[in-house]
Structures are given as C-alpha cells and as structure tokens.
C-alpha cells in the first residue's frame, strides 16, 4: 500500500499510481521516474540509457561521495536503470525530501547529458513512453524484444583517476603550482608602463594567468592590459566567472616575504591567495575539469580577470566597454553561499586646516602618515613631534583587516591619535586636529559620532579611517564607508558633511559605488544555492555583505565564495592564506556552478 506522502506527491505532479505494486510513476523535469515504497526505504528509479562512460563514472562517484549526507541506504546502476534507495524515517519520507532527491537526480541526468527521451534498450530518442518490466521509461516498439545495449557497466580501464574522480583532488597539485606562480608576482597597482596602465606587475600577473589558460587548451585574450579572459565552449550564450589578479599592498606583520609563497600540508600562505588569485585559479581548473569529463556545454564559459579591483574596478568598466556581457555569472571574491546584497561603498576625504604652535612650544605634532588604502584597516601609523627644538618620530602598530569589516581589525591611526592627545594633555597642550579626530571618529567603526549610524536587512553601516596624511598646515583623512542597501547616499553625505563641518572638517567625495541587491528568489541566486547545497549539504542561506565585488560591474552576476561559513577573514591581512581542502572544495563547487548555469535556459 502506498504511503500517504507518496500519494500526495503523485497527485501534486500528476503521476499515475499503482497501489497494488506500491509504486507511482511519471515525468519529473521531463525525465521518466518510478518511486517504489519499500520496507523502511523509498526507491527512486530512472533510466540512464545513453549515458557516457565518463558521465556514468562521475555519477557513481558523486552518489558514493554524498551517500551519507543524502541518507542513502544504497544505490546501483543496472540494466540501464539507476535505482537510489533512500532511508525512510519512522514516519513517511516528507514530500520536500522526495523533491530534493528528484531535483538532484534530474539535474545530474541533465549534467551528464542523458537524453530525456532515450529508449531504455538502445539509448536513441523515442517518442513512446510506458512500463518496461514495471518501470516507467521511453521505449521503441521495435526494441521491446531486443537485448538492451549495456550502458550501466563501468569499464574501469577507461579511467586513470578512479579513486579521485568526482572531486578536484587530481587537479590540486597543478592548482597549487599555478597559484604559487601567480602569488610570486607583486601585482599591486603602480605607475603606468607601456601596455600596463596599472603598472608592470599587474600586466605580468595577467600574462601569467593567460599563459596557464592557454596551456590547458583554452582561448586566451588580453584586453589592453586592463583585463583579460580565458574561454572554452561554443554557443551564443555566455557564462562567466569574474576574478581579479591585483592585490592590496602587503602591509606589515608578515612572518616571511608575502610574495614568496609558503606551502604547507594544510595551506598556501601569500598575499593574494584568498583575494583573489586563489579563487581565479579554482575557477580556471574547475572549467578544465569539466571539459576533461567530456562535458560539452551549450554555451561558452569564460573566466574573466581584471587588474584594478582593489582601486576602483576601472578594469571592469573597460571590459564592459569593449567585450560581451555574460548571460549569467558569479564572482568568487566574497563568501559562500550566495551574496544577494552588497552595501553601498563611498570614500570621502576629510580635510582640516592646521595652525600649529610655533617653535617656542614645548611639544607640537608636526607631521604624520598612516595607512595605505581607504579599504584597509591601517596596520601602522607614524607621528613626528617637535619637542624643545628636537624632532622625534613615534611608530604605532595596529591589526590590519578589510575595510568592510573594520571591527575585526585594530586601527593604528586611532591608536596614534589616542596617544597624541594624551601626550599633549600631559604638557597642558592640545592639537585641534587630534581633538576633532577623537571626537568625530576615535575608535568607533559604526559612524555614530559622525551622525550616520544605522542598519537595514543588509546590516549596519561601517566606517574605516583608512589613510592619514598630516603636515604642519593641513591634515587629510580618507574614510571608507559601507552603507545599507536601502539608504539614500545624498542624505548620508549631508549628515556626514554637517557633523564633520561642526568639527572643522571639509568633506570631499572620492569614490562611490551604488548598493547591489538581488531578491533571494532570483533564478541566478536559486541556481547557485542549489549547487552549494548539493556539494556541501549545508543549509546556510544567502548573505548580505559590506564588501564590494565585481558583481556591481555588470548585470546577471552575484558574488559566490570562496570563503566558507566559519572561516576566519584573511583578506587584506598579514598572513593571508587559503586552505588546500577549501581550495579543492571551492573548485568543485565552481565546476558544478558552470555546469548548472550552462544547462539553465534562464540562469539569471
């Protein structure tokens, strides 16, 4: 007798029920399926005639790898059918779980290019459907009495990497070598050079990446030294991963040369490993692995790399002006699972006119420098004092962090301003700029003293005082502010200007990026979430972040990885690294993301 949930499932999808045989059958995503009620399990059975040997091996390895997560009792390929038995709990398997299993199997059938109308005997397209030994399938009338062509015996001699097929482990040594080569290039933005508008090192990194892509058999294109891409596949549609090869300056606090990678048994340590050369390599080898399976996408797949992401993303503006835009894509430059919202980003320069005490003063702050970029929590700051006619310089050390997460770092400029105020106080002196800084910003990272604190579903506003330049007659301070997606920038700017002006600062806009927002039910978000869930079995939900990614540079693109939930934030910090197991897992996810987005007719 059929369980109530299977009856409800069959009714929902218009399937036929054969209660005396304890089964129901019908089409799911246009594939024929039969579900059988067993004792403490449900069997999901579908024909796989026509599947290639590489597809069969990958499918087998995938189910083996995911058996525990999916709570499979067992599975088998036999007589051109796949039978997956899922353990039944004390109560009947929920409809949602049945749909999850059906989605996974149907998506894999499509991924391995099993024809929806394949005859179960010969594997060729057939228009008629019916029961073959009691299982729902397509079948030619002329094939019903024939012995079937054997599609479901794996011939191990056809495979070299049988133990690691289905993962990216076989590619990990090459991925590691490629990442080490890229990280040896100090691709920080610099003065323009011939053919290198962002500096020679950024061009060197681009040329190295394109060289690696060409060695893997892909087409490689340099876009005027500003960006480039490698591409494979054919078709009118384009699916892309958007990555960048430029990095922020190394900063302080490293235990070794940050551009001489250290490879341990667990990780690769160097500037750029996580942001964003490692993810670029993962995407590149994900594409290579997909092609090595024999998969023939019905679209072109492109790994795009830019060279100015850390300083304004003019590289992607150039790409957009000269190249084709993807129909769907992702940028592996944030966190898993999918980033559906990115806060607005704005940089301001606050200027303050100084009138320092004369040489007769017992103690005066005469100059100072701190930080390297507005979007980095400064790890160092130096202040020079004139005391009784002699100058001395004091160095301050903080903890670098990404400017979108200033609360995770320790701001060296704020430390320096605290100390400066105390030194001057002890001499019964003050410095108007130091006082204004500590009242307006201090060690706060939420903008409260500036009158701009607040939040929405994308999170709270953050403020980072990233760069200080101080001379005897002027001080400038560069701020990085990440504001909630529903806020109006003009209102924010007015509030900041009014509050800063009351402390003697002039406010100047340096750079602004609008917020990015995709509803969570957008097909692109849902497609990538399905890929993430299928690989990790993690039920994490889409995220909103303060970071800015290439997803803002063109439509139909969202941020997707590479950091996993619970990973420490290492971007822009000393000791930046990528774990080898996460490197492999991210590449595996990107391989399936490429597959999913090329299969979907409306991926975005």
**SS3 state of residue 23:** strand
CB atoms within 10 A of CB 81: 21
* Residues 72-78: contacts with CB under 8 Å, at least 24 apart: 73/40, 73/41, 77/48, 77/152, 77/154, 78/152
309 is catalytic: yes
For the range 419-422, what are the long-range contacts, defined as Cβ-Cβ under 8 Å and sequence gap of 24 or more? 419/383, 419/394, 420/365, 420/383
Residue 240 CA: distances (Å) to CA of 179, 310, 594: 20, 20, 8
The two structure tokens encoding residue 226: 């500003």
Cα–chain center distance at 567: 13
Q: Could you give the CA distance from residue 471 to residue 435 in angstroms, rounded to a whole number?
A: 16
Rounded distance, CA 385 to CA 357, Å? 12
From CA 369, how far away is CA 382, in angstroms rounded? 5
A 10 A CB-CB count for 165 gives 21
46 within 8 A of 32, measured Cβ to Cβ: yes
Instruction: Compute the residue count for the chain.
Output: 604
d(CA 238, CA 506): 46
Strand 455-456 to strand 459-460: parallel, antiparallel, or no bridges (unpaired)? Answer: antiparallel
Q: Can you tell me the distance from the alpha carbon of 568 to that of 408, in angstroms, rounded to the nearest whole number?
A: 10
What is the rounded distance in angstroms from the CA atom of residue 115 to the CA atom of residue 124?
8
Two tokens, residue 398: 């903080």
C-beta neighbour count of 200 within 10 angstroms: 17
Q: Where are the alpha helices (DSSP H) in 293-364?
A: 314-322
N-term to C-term CA, the chain: 43
- Taking the C-alpha atoms of residue 462 and residue 344, their distance in angstroms, rounded to an integer, is 10
Catalytic residue among 275, 309, 369, 600: 309
The shares of helix, strand and coil residues in the chain, as percent rounded to the nearest 5, are 30, 30, 40
Annotated catalytic residue within 61, 110, 208, 246: 246
d(CA 334, CA 279): 10
| Known active-site residue 236 | no
Look at strands 338-342 and 543-545 and give their pairing: parallel
In Å, how far from its chain's centre is CA 393? 42
DSSP 8-class letter at 142: G
Active site residues: 246, 309
């Amino acid at each position: 007798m059929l369980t109530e949930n299977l009856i409800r499932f069959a009714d929902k999808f218009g399937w036929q029920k054969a209660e005396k045989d304890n089964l129901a059958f019908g089409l799911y995503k246009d594939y024929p399926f039969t579900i059988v009620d067993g004792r403490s399990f449900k069997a999901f059975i579908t024909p796989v005639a026509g599947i290639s040997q590489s597809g069969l091996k990958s499918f087998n390895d995938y189910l083996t790898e995911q058996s525990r997560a999916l709570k499979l009792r067992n599975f088998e390929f036999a007589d051109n059918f796949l039978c997956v038995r899922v353990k039944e709990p004390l109560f009947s398997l929920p409809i949602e779980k049945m749909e999850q299993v059906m989605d996974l199997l149907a998506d894999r059938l499509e991924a391995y290019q099993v024809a929806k109308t394949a005859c179960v005997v010969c594997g060729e397209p057939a228009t008629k459907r019916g029961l073959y030994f009691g299982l729902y399938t397509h079948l030619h009338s002329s094939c019903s009495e024939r012995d079937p062509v054997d599609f479901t015996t794996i011939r191990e001699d056809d495979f070299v990497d049988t133990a690691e097929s289905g993962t990216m482990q076989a590619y990990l040594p090459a991925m590691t070598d490629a990442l080490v080569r890229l990280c040896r290039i100090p691709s920080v933005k610099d003065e323009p050079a011939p053919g290198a508008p962002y500096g020679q090192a950024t061009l060197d990194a681009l040329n190295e990446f394109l060289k690696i892509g060409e060695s893997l058999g892909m087409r490689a294109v340099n876009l005027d030294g500003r960006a480039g891409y490698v591409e494979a596949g054919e078709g009118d549609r384009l699916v892309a991963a958007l990555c960048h090869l430029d990095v922020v300056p190394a900063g302080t606090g490293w235990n070794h040369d940050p551009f001489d990678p250290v490879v341990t048994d667990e990780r690769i340590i160097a500037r750029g490993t996580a942001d964003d050369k490692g993810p670029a390599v993962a995407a590149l080898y994900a594409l290579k692995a997909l092609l090595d399976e024999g998969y023939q996408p019905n679209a072109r797949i492109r790994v795009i790399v830019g060279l100015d992401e850390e300083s304004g993303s003019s590289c992607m503006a150039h790409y957009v002006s000269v190249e084709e835009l993807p129909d769907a894509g992702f940028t592996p430059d944030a966190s898993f699972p999918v980033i559906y919202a990115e806060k607005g980003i704005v940089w301001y320069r606050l200027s303050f006119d100084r009138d320092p005490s004369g040489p007769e003063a017992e103690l005066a702050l005469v100059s100072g420098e701190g930080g390297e970029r507005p979007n980095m929590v400064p790890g160092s700051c130096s202040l020079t004092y004139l005391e009784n006619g002699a100058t001395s310089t004091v160095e301050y050390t903080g903890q670098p962090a990404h400017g979108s997460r200033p609360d995770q770092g320790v701001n060296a400029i704020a430390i320096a301003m605290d100390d400066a105020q105390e030194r001057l106080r002890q001499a019964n002196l003050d410095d108007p700029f130091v006082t204004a800084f500590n009242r307006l910003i201090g060690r706060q990272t939420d903008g409260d003293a500036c009158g701009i604190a607040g939040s929405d579903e994308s999170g709270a506003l953050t403020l980072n005082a990233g760069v200080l330049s101080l001379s005897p007659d002027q001080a400038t301070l560069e701020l990085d502010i990440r504001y909630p997606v529903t806020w109006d920038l003009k209102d924010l700017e007015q509030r900041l200007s009014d509050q800063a002006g009351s402390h003697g600062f002039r406010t100047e806009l340096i750079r602004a990026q609008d917020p990015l927002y995709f509803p969570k039910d957008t097909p692109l978000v849902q497609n990538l979430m399905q890929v993430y869930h299928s690989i990790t079995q993690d039920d994490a939900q889409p995220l909103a972040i303060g970071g800015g990614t290439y997803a803002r540079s063109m439509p139909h693109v969202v941020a997707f990885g590479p950091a996993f939930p619970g990973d420490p934030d290492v971007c822009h910090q000393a000791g930046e690294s990528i774990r080898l197991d996460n490197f492999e897992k991210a590449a595996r996810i990107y391989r399936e993301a490429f597959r999913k987005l090329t299969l979907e007719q409306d991926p975005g």
